[in-house]
Amino acid sequence: MIGPFPATEFLELHRRLALTIAPSNGEEPRRRLLADLLDSHGIAHHSDNAGNLIASVGNGPWQDSVVLDAHLDVVERGGALEVHNDGECLRGLGVADDLAAVTVLALALVRLAQGGESFPLQLVFLFSTGEEGLGNLRG
């Protein structure tokens, strides 16, 4: 079982994600930021033809997997030009849709991978692309 994330860790990753511009069909910079985070913790991952970033923990057949998904792209220009932290929350373009979920999934994946716990199912963490606007749900 993993505990709560320290607020400073959550807010810092969340801010970095929001400031990394990634509109639909242009998610590579944000995907690279997450891939670097996973690499720094020794977590295996790959990207598919749609540009989704995929990592997993646990074992079990694919058909029994649980997939946790959050999309990387943000409307309009693809991210915030600045992010305001009022001590309790972040404000800026894209911080809620869907970068809060991306941050939670990324930190949960790191904790679970470091915990060494055994899971009877495979937990697949999918950071998907193309959800907003003209992205047409390609991921």
**Of the candidates 35, 33, 45, 41, which has an alpha carbon nearest to the alpha carbon of residue 110?**
41
Q: How far apart are the C-alpha atoms of 129 and 63, rounded to whole Å?
A: 22
pTM of the full predicted structure?
A: 0.91
In the CATH scheme, what is the code of domain 7-132?
3.40.630.10
The ranges assigned to domains in the chain are 7-132
Q: How far is CA 138 from the centre of its chain?
A: 17
Work out the burial of residue 73: count CB atoms within 10 Å of its CB; fewer than 13 is exposed, 13-18 middle, 19 or more buried. Answer: buried
Query: Residue written as tokens 């913790």?
Result: 41
Q: What is the mean pLDDT of each run of 10 residues along the chain (139 residues)?
A: 82 93 93 98 96 94 94 88 84 86 96 85 95 69
pLDDT at position 139 is 60
